[in-house]
Structure 1
Amino acid sequence: MSIFPDFLRSVLLTMVLSFLTPILVISFGLASSAIIGCLPFLETIGQFSCQQILQFLATFGSGHPLQGSLIIGITCSLVGGLFDTYASYQSPRSQ
């Protein structure tokens, strides 16, 4: 019975980190594209890459980039939780 709180804490922490990782990667990609777009000789490349990232996110979010990034984050979170559950099942802790 005492192993359940440790298991639950592990799964919740894994899910939170698995949610934040794609959100941070997407944010970093958009921020770097915006910074590149501020440079005069790379303006078109920055704008094009920012537009492509937003279009990719809109595909997953039914036309809304923010909703698309949340869908990707939630999906990664669920996969991370399932993987942690599987890993915990495969290697039980000794008492």
Structure 2
Amino acid sequence: PVSLYQWRLINGSISSNIEIRDNVLLFKGPVTYDLQGSYVCDATNSIGTRSASVEIGILEKPLPQIATGDVISVIALLLAAGVLMGITVT
């Protein structure tokens, strides 16, 4: 069985926004582009050490979600405005 796990970031240091709990990386706080990179886990026991890596990439900031009720309200408001202005929707 593995007696020691160690995480490291290739060409950098692990951010203070990342917590290592139960040998797992937990990304906490704001997600920023500086968190991306190649993270390596070294697992060591009495026989030796094995390593595995994972590439973390930050693609883009998610857009704010609009509740369905808000969308329906906006559509109803636009239709009402169109009726008041004499615009027909076909």
The TM-score with structure 1 as length reference comes to 0.25
Q: Specify which structure has the bigger relative contact order, considering alpha-carbon pairs within 8 angstroms and separated by 6 or more residues.
A: 1
The answer to which structure has the higher strand fraction is: 2
The answer to which structure has the higher helix fraction is: 1
The TM-score with structure 2 as length reference comes to 0.26
Bigger radius of gyration among the two: 2
